[in-house]
A and B are shown apart, each in its own frame.
Chain A
């Protein structure tokens, strides 16, 4: 294909040729995570993608494939190229996956912005990458056919070679220049699943080696000539301003270049720029800042809990109402379950601290960002610098985790970095958030109270279910606020409102209080808490009914919840160990469907040192066609571990008088190896349905499965997290 000089050259070309798509995609910002598929299909016009923006066949035979996503552990830098390479019949050993810069052509085909979220990378780009691969192959075949004066249907392809009759062959690399001159085919025939060579196979990650020898560059590793390091002193209470700053002592340190105030999304902060990180951090420690807390709400989680519990005592805005939940009021107390759940704020705490590098050159800028929201982060930087977005060349950097924390609608880290770069025009600056900035910096999974009243029928099944949820809205005040319909933010009630359990008299209602704590989606979003509530209560009902927890769930599930039935059946087959557990061990079960992927999980748990010890976990998954089963297995093994964050003894962010009480991994401690399952076996329901996501669906099931096992050992119910004591 055309030699690629620099990413920027291609961007200009693509933008010109895709003006129409661009216009539509800007409107596509309206399309978001929680509209149903039909609405999306109506709003998003069919797109044509230029193969040359995604594939570059180099003369040395290497095939560079642009990945329209952030790679931050989920494995798309391998699996998206797999899809394209399969249809292209490329030699996999020669494939290199590159993270695409911000450009309209790399926007998510359904969401309309360039982003990672909603477990949509494979689900949304599967068809797109297949077609790109097939079109590229067709162009290479057409070039060979021209050269040999044959028809394309006389040729076949394999491993980056076009074969013709009479032992003729041509390498893709030798055909690339001619192929680039071929017209892009309008329609192509895709492979049938039986023809796949890569899709559906266990393929090792492309980034494995570089991540084992220290050579993989992450955002924080970016180094540019003349670059300076910036750190920021953030207000101790969200949104506070500044009365005065005494920076005399800070400025005495050799290597400190500048100290100045910058505006935040809310409030004001002080930026320090120095030659080195350690100097900048020491200088920050020496600042004397008199913060202005006038008129700033100082949230306090103990008081919030009281307020939330009061709210939960009465129904809120109705999210769903079926049948007649008043049946509850006619039910004898002995046949009722009344359960109140408490969940704390949670930090995402990705391993790589938040960072952004920017160089502002007056009329243009260049940015290096480990970003889940390229389109929005690029726009935010441009806005602060007074540039048009296309004047900001935006490189997507590999990220050390994210879990939602790098998908922030106000792009606050990028805005800070841009404000600093603006002042240091011409000098590249790397903004580094320390771990303390991260843990105390907000944008948490919100705190919640759920209150559920259940009338238990004579058959042991729930006859009525009244459910009140109290939680800050994730969407309110964001560009996605228009998705709040009739007072309901779907991210607050998902997983409960749309439960697949068949409960005739069912009501879920919502209170959405406003609190001065920034909140954000946390891997699996609303399902982090809704699955915990649903799955612990259903387990309690099963215990009460003296039924096997898998059998009870299958009895309660709607017959049409086919994926959940499939995974429960598979789990039942694969968890025979449940029947032969040693004394002191118990099995716990949970199942949940999120992002169209169904998951069922069984865990073998004992109590060691007053903590749950998870000896094994068996997981059954229905994710449609598993593009890379090795990667699906990784996501499930790891996603279970991530989900355990909310069971950790020190797994809570708390605030007192407006100040976050935790500072680092000493006060907020996520799961370490001892907390994680010792072994996880993952079983995938065979399917040729379109692939669905695997990043988030592992997270919701693990915590309820573990506490359901604990309940069997202790006869206690675990309705308040974190799990401080067993």
Chain B
């Protein structure tokens, strides 16, 4: 076990865990931030996507020991960001969700995309969202919502 000081959604958090524990399970089990989801454990589905220092990151494969000082933002904190708010708003406006389990990850990936590329093409969307699996296949509305958020955020 080891002690880690993390910056999560702007707050300092201290956790005492095995160094190999993936960030996902620290968020879910230690910090009770269950909006970030477990889907596969091998970074193949994107349900666990969070931002680490602004970069969309699959938290299921990143050991907590590698985080260091880099700030973490999860779905619970994304509304503090104007792009995050625009994306959440577009998601609700377009009635994107179905089961909703993957949508935290979808939204985190979409925010990272729009911050890097404010007016994404279909190809940009397919590349950036390409690793986020949705078994309900809400992809059509995800595409629409990203374009709508892009309009709003500008």
A residues contacting B by CB (< 8 A) are: 72-75, 204-205, 207-218, 220-221, 223, 254, 276-279, 282, 349-353, 398-403, 432, 434-436, 630, 634, 637-642, 644, 664-666, 669-674, 676-680
Could you say which residues of chain A place their CB within 8 Å of the CB of B116? none
B129 on the interface (CB 8 Å rule)?
A: yes
Contact of B40 among A216, A220, A640, A664 (CB under 8 A): A664
In the bound complex, CA of A617 to CA of B18 (Å): 49
* Contact B44 A401, beta carbon cutoff 8 Å: no
Nearest B residue to A676 by beta-carbon distance? B139
Which interface residue of A74, A220, A353, A400 has the most chain B CB atoms within 10 A?
Answer: A400
- With A212-B100, A351-B99 given, name 9 new contacts (CB 8 A): A207-B97, A223-B34, A403-B135, A637-B137, A637-B140, A664-B40, A672-B133, A673-B126, A677-B140
B139 touches A664 (CB 8 A): no
Q: With A205-B95, A212-B91, A277-B29 given, is the CB distance from A351 to B101 under 8 Å?
A: yes
Write the B96-138 contact mask toward A (1 if CB under 8 angstroms, else 0).
1111111110010000000000000010011001111111111
Q: How far is the CA of A401 from the CA of B39 in the complex (A)?
A: 12
B14: shortest Cβ distance to chain A, in Å? Answer: 16
Taking a contact as CB atoms under 8 Å apart, the answer to whether A642 and B44 are in contact is no
Question: Does A672 lie within 8 Å of B131, measured CB to CB?
Answer: yes
30 contacts between A and B (CB under 8 A): A72-B99, A73-B136, A207-B97, A207-B100, A208-B92, A208-B95, A208-B96, A210-B100, A213-B79, A214-B35, A214-B36, A214-B104, A215-B76, A220-B34, A278-B20, A278-B21, A350-B101, A352-B37, A399-B99, A400-B102, A401-B135, A434-B41, A435-B41, A435-B42, A638-B138, A640-B137, A666-B44, A672-B132, A673-B130, A678-B122
Assuming the contacts A212-B92, A223-B32, A665-B42, asked whether A401 and B99 have C-beta atoms less than 8 A apart, the reply is yes
Residue of A nearest to B45 (CB): A665
The residue on A at minimum CB distance from B88 is: A212
Question: How far does the Cβ of A252 sit from chain B's closest Cβ, in whole Å?
Answer: 13
Check: B142 CB closer than 8 A to any chain A CB. yes
Residue contact A351 to B45, C-beta cutoff 8 Å? yes
With both beta carbons as reference points, the residue of chain A lying nearest to B123 in the complex is identified as A674
- Ranked nearest first, the 9 interchain pairs of A and B with the lowest CB-CB distance are A214-B35, A641-B137, A400-B101, A211-B100, A73-B99, A73-B98, A214-B75, A665-B44, A221-B34
Most buried by B among A351, A432, A676: A351
Task: Summarize B's interface: helix, strand, loop or mixed.
Answer: loop
A211 touches B137 (CB 8 A): no
Mask: chain B, 1-27; 1 = CB below 8 Å from A; 0 = not: 100000000000000011011100100
**A667 (CB) vs chain B CBs: closest residue:** B44
Instruction: Tell me if B95 and A634 are in contact (CB < 8 A).
Output: yes
> Smallest Cβ distance from A648 to chain B, in angstroms?
11
The closest CB in chain A to the CB of B93 belongs to: A204
Instruction: Give the contacting residue for B137; candidates A216, A278, A400, A642; CB below 8 A.
Output: A642
Name the contact of A214 in the complex, choosing from B22, B34, B44 (C-beta under 8 A): B34
Given A276-B25, A678-B122, do A213 and B35 touch, yes or no (CB 8 Å)? yes
Contacting residues, chain A, for B34 (C-beta < 8 A): 214, 217, 220-221, 223
Q: Are B1 and A254 in contact (CB under 8 A)?
A: yes
Interchain nearest-CB distance for B129 vs A (Å): 5
| A211 and B97 form a contact (CB under 8 A) | yes
B56 within 8 A of A: no
Q: How many residues of B contact A (CB 8 A)?
A: 59
Given B38, B92, B98, which contacts A209 in the complex, CB threshold below 8 Å? B92
Contact of B98 among A217, A218, A353, A638 (CB under 8 A): A638
Contact residues in A for B41 (Cβ distance below 8 Å): 434-436, 664
Q: Is B47 an interface residue (CB 8 A)?
A: yes
CB distance from B134 to the nearest CB of A (A): 7
Contact of A351 among B79, B126, B134, B142 (CB under 8 A): B134
How near does chain B come to A77, taking the closest CB pair, in angstroms? 11
> In the complex, which residue of chain A has the Cβ closest to the Cβ of B90?
A212
**The one of B91, B95, B139 that contacts A673, using a Cβ cutoff of 8 Å:** B139
Q: A276 to chain B: which residues have CB within 8 Å?
A: 17, 21, 25, 29
Q: Tell which of B34, B96, B107, B143 has the most Cβ of chain A within 10 Å.
A: B34
Q: A665 — which chain B residues lie within 8 A by C-beta?
A: 39-40, 42, 44-45, 133
Which residues of chain B have C-beta atoms less than 8 A from A282's C-beta?
A: 18, 20
Q: Is the CB of B98 within 8 A of A634?
A: yes
Query: In the assembly, what is the distance between CA of A678 and CA of B139, in Å?
Result: 8
What is the distance, in angstroms, from B77's C-beta to the closest C-beta of chain A? Answer: 9
Write the chain A residue with the least CB distance to B101.
A400
Q: Hey, which chain B residues are within 8 Å of A680, CB to CB?
A: 140
- State the Cβ distance, A18 to closest chain B Cβ, in Å: 31
CB distance from A418 to the nearest CB of B (A): 22
In the complex, which of the residues B122, B131, B140 has the most CB atoms of chain A within 10 Å of its own CB atom?
B140
| Distance to closest chain B CB from A274 (angstroms) | 11
Given the interface pairs A352-B37, A666-B42, A672-B132, the reply to whether A638 lies near B95 with Cβ below 8 Å is no
Q: Is the CB of B98 within 8 A of A213?
A: no
- Asked whether A353 lies within 8 Å of B39 as measured between CB atoms, the reply is yes
Contacts of B45 in A (CB 8 A): 351, 435, 665
Q: How far apart sit A393 and B125, CA to CA, in the bound complex (Å)?
A: 45
The interface residues of chain A lying within 8 Å CB-to-CB of B38 are 220, 277, 353, 432
Q: Evaluate contact between A216 and B140: CB separation under 8 angstroms.
A: no
- For B137, the closest partner residue in chain A by CB is A641
Residues of chain A within 8 A of B107, CB atoms compared: 212
Indicate the member of A215, A432, A435 with the most B CB atoms within 10 Å: A435
Cβ of A429 to closest chain B Cβ, rounded Å? 14
B28 contact set on A, CB distance < 8 A: 221, 277
The reply to whether A277 and B25 form a contact with Cβ atoms under 8 Å apart is: yes
Asked if residues A278 and B25 are in contact (CB atoms below 8 Å), the reply is yes
In the assembled complex, the Cα of A109 lies from the Cα of B142 at a distance in Å of 36
Q: Is B33 an interface residue (CB 8 A)?
A: yes
Contact A401 B133 (CB under 8 A): no
Distance from B34 Cβ to chain A, minimum over Cβ atoms (Å): 4
* Neighbouring A residues of B98 by C-beta, 8 Å: 73-75, 634, 638
Minimum CB–CB distance for A612 against chain B, Å? 15
- Docked-complex contact A637 and B101, CB < 8 angstroms: no
* A642 engages B104 (CB within 8 Å): no
Q: Are A213 and B42 in contact (CB under 8 A)?
A: no
A205 touches B99 (CB 8 A): no
Closest to B134 in A: A351
